[in-house]
Amino acid sequence: MSACRPDPRALAAQALASVVAGQSLRAAFAALSTKLHEARDRALLSSLLHEGARWWLRFDTALGSLLERPLRERESDIHALLVLGLVQLEIMGLSDYAAVAATVEATRALRKPAFAGLVNAVLRRWLRERETRRVELDRDAVTRTAHPRWLIERFDADWPEQAEAILTVNNAPASLWLRVNRRRVMRADFAAQLAEQGVVCRVPDDAPDALLLDASRDVTTLPGYAQGLFSVQDGAAQQAARLLDLHDGQHVLDACAAPGGKTGHILELADCALTALDSDPARVLRVGDNLARLGFSARVLCADCASPADWSDGAPFERILLDAPCTASGVVKRHPDIKWLRRESDLAQLAATQGRMLDALWQQLAPGGKLLYATCSVFPQENAQTIDSFLARCSGARRLPLAGLEGGQLLPDARHDGFFYALLEKQ
């Protein structure tokens, strides 16, 4: 790697070290990807960072016995680089020679060439002992599945028959779904535009606005991105706006809107008066940016939806979408840093927050109106139990059936993320 061309592996090591220390993967990638000018280098950085985060618990443990002594804390980037070297050998399928040579070279890009010999020795030791070490790592569910123990146990307790499948799916790359902006282009016409560019996609029957791409890619390079012809949104998430039963002229609230994916979909489906809220100032800006790219406008406010006195003008809403904050346990394959960012103790706190939001927003719903509660979680404590508790204390609420969504829960699978939906009507 020449001096004028940054090394994606070195940047990935720095980013991965930051993620393990608590930074979100999205933020770590955004901070360093701008240093790469070629699309293939940014794609490699993304792949390395996601796979490194996804498999950290397996290969971090492996390094514990491969290294004669732990690397000092100030060498966290070299430690992360070693994990990425193992990921390239075991997960990404690079040739042994190429993976080792490129990882060793990255020590120089990190300006730590003194560690080149150590990196080379550790990776070559793994290659000599890999079969034995794979067996050792597979003995413990944590290192076999690369999930924290509390998450494994929670999946097993809540979904005993599906737990192993969930763990397996979480370690697979997420599918790339697009949502076509029907206000600007027909889905079939846009699929044809992609085909002309050599982009292979499928047309799912269960998501009327969706295209499912056969391979991940930088979507900003696809035709029509800048013109707002499409957005990136998982197939499970695309159900939200449709389940709201939208009609032109309605007064609609998107209560936890950032980054604006569902906000845009609402405006693609209906000509309505939309208010979008989010309590994070930086994420509120993203809502505005995404709406502008799609060609829409809305009343976008930085506010806590659980405190209506700060933002409500007193006018009731016919439709409310509450995409509530949650553990995000249904989107681990898309956001593998969830394994570090969440703790089991978060569940009770989040469930309490969800309940407060429901109580506050229910007062903003017009009689006969509908509120759609959504999470990207698979834990009943945040989903069915939260809804059951709300219904028990609110006599004027009725839960409506959702066609094709018995119980409202979608578990993550090879195609889509995990999501929960409950549609409530005000009597």
What tokens were used for 315? 């006018």
For 157, the token pair is 């307790």
228 Rama class: left (phi>0) / alpha (psi -120 to 50) / beta: left
Distance CA 269, CA 87 (A): 42
**Of 201, 256, 305, 376, which residue is the catalytic one?**
376
Query: What are the Cα distances from residue 259, in Å, to 171, 246, 385?
Result: 25, 20, 27
d(CA 409, CA 236): 10
- One-letter amino acid of 162: Q
> Which amino acid would we find at residue 301?
L
Task: Identify whether 376 is a catalytic site residue.
Answer: yes
CA distance 254 to 241: 10
Cβ atoms of 228 and 180 within 8 Å: the answer is: no
Contact partners, residue 74, CB within 8 Å, separation at least 6: none
- Taking the CA atoms of the chain, what radius of gyration do you get in angstroms? 23
Distance of CA 393 to the CA centre of its chain: 32
What is the rounded CA–CA span in Å between residue 345 and residue 389? 20
Q: Which of 209, 210, 415, 173 is nearest to 201 (CA)?
A: 210
> Could you give the residue numbers annotated as active site?
376
